[in-house]
Homo-oligomer: A and B are copies of this chain.
Amino acid sequence: MGIAVDTLERTVGGIFLQAGLLPAQAAAMARTIVAAERDACKSHGVYRIAGCLRTVKAGKADPAAVPALSDDGTAILRVDAKGGFSCAAFELGAPALAERAKALGVAALVINDCTHFSALWPEVEALTDMGVAALAMCPSYASVAPTGGTAALLGTNPIAFGWPRPGGHPYVFDFATSVAARGEVELHARAGKAIPDGWAIGPDGGPTTDPEQALDGAMLPFGGHKGSAISTMIELLAGAMIGDLTSPEARAELGGMSMLPRHGELVLAFSPDRFAAGRPGDPFARAEALFDAILGQGARLPSQRRHAARTKALADGIALNDEEQSELARLGRLGLAAV
| Interface positions of A (Cβ within 8 A of B) | 74-76, 103-108, 110, 112, 133, 135, 145-151, 153, 161, 163, 171, 173, 175, 177, 205, 222-230, 232-233, 235-237, 239-244, 246, 248, 268, 270, 272, 274-276, 278-281, 283-284, 286-287, 290, 293-294, 297-300, 302
Q: A104-B104, A149-B298 are in contact. Are A275 and B226 (CB under 8 A)?
A: no
A279: contacting residue among B148, B173, B244, CB under 8 A? B244
- B227 and A226: CB pair below 8 A? yes
Given contacts A226-B227, A276-B242, A297-B151, contact A232 B107 (CB under 8 A): no
Contact A153–B108 (Cβ < 8 Å): no
- The CA of A108 and the CA of B229, in the complex, are separated in Å by 22
Query: In the docked arrangement, what's the CA distance between A153 and B242, Å?
Result: 36
Question: Which of the residues B133, B148, B235 comes within 8 Å of A290, measured between beta carbons?
Answer: B235
Nearest chain B CB to A17's CB is how many angstroms away? Answer: 32
The residue of chain B having its C-beta at the shortest distance from the C-beta of A277 within the complex is B243
What residues of chain B lie closer than 8 Å to A242, measured between beta carbons?
Answer: 275-276, 279
- B153, B173, B223, B236: the one within 8 Å of A293 (CB): B153
Measured CB to CB, the closest approach of chain B to A330, in angstroms, equals 37
Pick the residue among B104, B112, B163, B239 that contacts A75 (CB under 8 A). Answer: B104
Taking the closest CB of chain B, its distance from the CB of A111, in whole angstroms, is 12
Select which of B105, B171, B175 is within 8 A of A108 by beta carbon.
B105
Q: Are A302's CB and B229's CB within 8 A? A: yes
23 A-B contacts (beta carbon < 8 Å): A75-B107, A104-B104, A133-B241, A145-B297, A150-B298, A151-B297, A153-B293, A161-B229, A163-B236, A173-B230, A222-B223, A223-B223, A223-B227, A225-B302, A228-B299, A229-B302, A232-B290, A232-B294, A240-B283, A240-B284, A241-B270, A241-B276, A243-B280
Q: In this complex, what residue of B is CB-closest to A268?
A: B106
In the bound complex, do residue B106 and residue A76 qualify as a contact, i.e. CB atoms below 8 Å apart? Answer: yes
Cβ–Cβ < 8 Å partners of A103 in chain B:
74
Question: CB distance A246 to B276 under 8 Å?
Answer: no
Asked if residues B294 and A146 are in contact (CB atoms below 8 Å), the reply is yes
Whether B112 contacts A279 by the Cβ 8 Å rule is yes
Q: A173-B232, A175-B225, A241-B283 are in contact. List 6 more A-B contacts (CB 8 A).
A: A149-B294, A171-B236, A177-B226, A232-B294, A243-B281, A248-B290
Residues of the B chain whose Cβ atoms lie less than 8 Å from the Cβ of A133: 236-237, 241
A110 partner residues in chain B, CB cutoff 8 A = 275
Chain B residue at minimum C-beta to C-beta distance from A242: B275
Contact B148 A106 (CB under 8 A): no
Contact B76 A75 (CB under 8 A): no
CB distance from A107 to the nearest CB of B (A): 7
Partner of A107, one of B106, B161, B222, B275: B106
- B residues less than 8 Å from A112 (CB atoms): 279
**Which residue from chain B places its CB closest to the CB of A229 in the assembled complex?**
B173
In the A-B complex, the 10 residue pairs with the closest CB atoms: A243-B279, A223-B223, A149-B297, A76-B105, A149-B299, A148-B299, A173-B229, A75-B104, A240-B286, A243-B276
